[in-house]
Amino acid sequence: MNPLTNVKNIKKLGEQELLRESTSSWHDQYKDSAWIFFGGLSYDLTEGDVITIFSQYGEPVNINLVRDKDTGKQKGYGFLCYEDQRSTTLAVDNLNGVKILGRTIRVDHVSNYKAPKDSKRIDDVTKKLRIEGCGPKKN
């Protein structure tokens, strides 16, 4: 599906939810994941820029800004994990469809994030996060 169509569909879900008098939300199906997907970014943005943008809605604890294996240039999309899952709802509702550097970004929930295969270049904190996971802990 076209990325802009996805942006419109997510916005439509939010609008429909406002009109309903239901106590549940479409966001509830993602209550066990603190990960979000973001796409459509300018290629000039760095991890620090992305963290600054998304930290408006919570404390990011992990980011995977997808990069080209050969050139190392970012591909305009990635994944971010918040310390608190509730921040994912705020980010999806408030950043999906926003223009940043002239590009409309897409932000959506991720239900089952799978970390990339281990690389020799990852630090100890990232290794620990990949083992223990990120976000809500199931009891």
Q: Which whole-number Å values give the CA distances from 75 to 21, 30, 41, 67, in the listed order?
A: 40, 25, 8, 5
Residues in the chain: 139
For residue 130, what pLDDT is reported?
67
Give the integer Cα–Cα distance in Å for 72 and 113: 22
For residue 135, what pLDDT is reported?
65
Instruction: Tokens for 119, please give them.
Output: 């690389």
Q: What is the pLDDT along the chain (139 residues), one digit of tens a residue?
A: 667 777 777 777 777 766 666 556 778 888 888 999 999 999 999 999 999 999 999 999 999 999 988 898 999 999 999 999 999 999 999 999 999 999 999 999 998 888 777 666 777 777 777 667 676 665 5
For residue 32, what pLDDT is reported?
83
For residue 5, what pLDDT is reported?
79
Q: Which of 38, 39, 33, 37 is nearest to 111 (CA)?
A: 33
Contact 118, 51 (CB under 8 A): no
Q: Which residue has the tokens 């990635």?
A: 78
Q: Specify which residues 105 forms β-bridges with.
A: none
For residue 115, what pLDDT is reported?
75
From the centroid of its chain, how far is CA 65? 10
For residue 72, what pLDDT is reported?
87
Give the integer Cα–Cα distance in Å for 52 and 29: 27
For residue 133, what pLDDT is reported?
67
Q: Which of 115, 113, 100, 93 is nearest to 40 (CA)?
A: 100
